[in-house]
Amino acid sequence: MKDLFPEKSRIIIGMVHLGALPGTPLYDAEAGMAGIIAGASEDLRALQDNGIDAVMFGNENDRPYALSAPQEGVAAMSAAVAALLPEIRVPFGVNYLWDPKASVAIAVATGAAFVREIFTGVYASDMGLWVPDAEGAAKLRRNLGRPDLKFLFNINAEFAAALDTRPLGLRARSAVFSSLADAILVSGPVTGEAGEPAQLAEVAFALPHVPLFANTGVNYDTVETVLTHAYGCVVGTHFKVDGITWNKVDGARVRRFMDKVNKIRAGLS
């Protein structure tokens, strides 16, 4: 990840949550793909114009979530991100919940720099028994000619409980060793809720030389503490109007947050 941001000591990735995609229960057929693209464009502009370091496109609105991406979802998300390429001014990534290979395919189709997903482990989840396929995703990355595509491993999934009883720090070390993680992400129990600070510290201690991100729940009041342990964070909910996940991105909230991050970075230089 540091190859993507050689001049920054800490990295903030802002989420662009696409509207519900075709084929999902909440899809707005009247607005169609044009509505999805227009909404994402507004959020992208609010993030970039207010100092974000990178963005990540995700299908957070495709509830109820599924463990296997349908063909129409992969096609629609690829088309939406591709339509926005002329507007993107920062490194970007993608995440199709909760399918690593679909995320890789979309990343390759759109030229994304990184993918976030659950790649390893076994989980009891809202979506049923969950067994990701890190090997399949890594093979696809190689076969599609994108060895440079960075894999961000979320190792404690939202909406799920790991059936693996090993300490989180050991699971993180194992994911780097066995499954080629480029970065490790630590999450809270659901979207928008923070993980345990002790878990972030545990993983930072276990992997001092691997980029670590807080994946959920970081806000203006907690970011300084988070960045004492982490290389960066992924922010979605806190950047939205009134801090509500499903609202539009509020540029003023992004600017206030990034102004604080810039002061933190200045103190580290």
Residue 269 above 80 pLDDT? no
pLDDT of the residue at 1: 78
pLDDT tens profile 158-193: 999 999 999 999 999 999 999 999 999 999 999 999
Residue 80, CA distances (Å) to 59, 105, 210, 240 in order: 11, 14, 32, 20
Give the residue-averaged pLDDT of 237-246: 98
Q: How wide is the angle at C-alpha 57 spanned by C-alphas 101 and 240, nearest 5°?
A: 140
Whether 213 and 241 have beta carbons less than 8 Å apart is answered as no
Provide the residue count of the chain.
Answer: 269
| Percentage with pLDDT > 90 across the chain | 97
Say what the pTM is.
Answer: 0.97
Q: Which of helix, strand or coil describes residue 154?
A: strand
pLDDT of the residue at 134: 97
What are the tokens at 122?
Answer: 């076994």
146 Cβ contact list (under 8 Å, min separation 6) = 104, 107, 108
pLDDT of the residue at 2: 77
What are the tokens at 32?
Answer: 């169609």
Residues 30, 154: Cα–Cα separation, whole Å: 35
Give the residue-averaged pLDDT of 27-52: 98
Residue 38, CA distances (Å) to 1, 28, 111, 240 in order: 29, 13, 20, 16
Residue 100 above 90 pLDDT? yes
Residue 113 above 90 pLDDT? yes
Residue extents of the structural domains in the chain: 11-268
pLDDT tens profile 197-231: 999 999 999 999 999 999 999 999 999 999 999 99
Q: What are phi and psi of 58, to 5 degrees?
A: -140, 160
Give the residue-averaged pLDDT of 131-135: 97
What are the tokens at 94?
Answer: 């993608």
Give the residue-averaged pLDDT of 33-43: 98
Whether 13 and 233 have beta carbons less than 8 Å apart is answered as yes
What per-residue string of b and e applies to 180-215 under the rule 16 or more CB within 10 Å gives b? Answer: ebbbbbbbbbebbebbeeebbbbbbebbeebbbbbb
Looking at the domain 11-268, which fold is it? TIM Barrel (3.20.20)
pLDDT of the residue at 10: 96
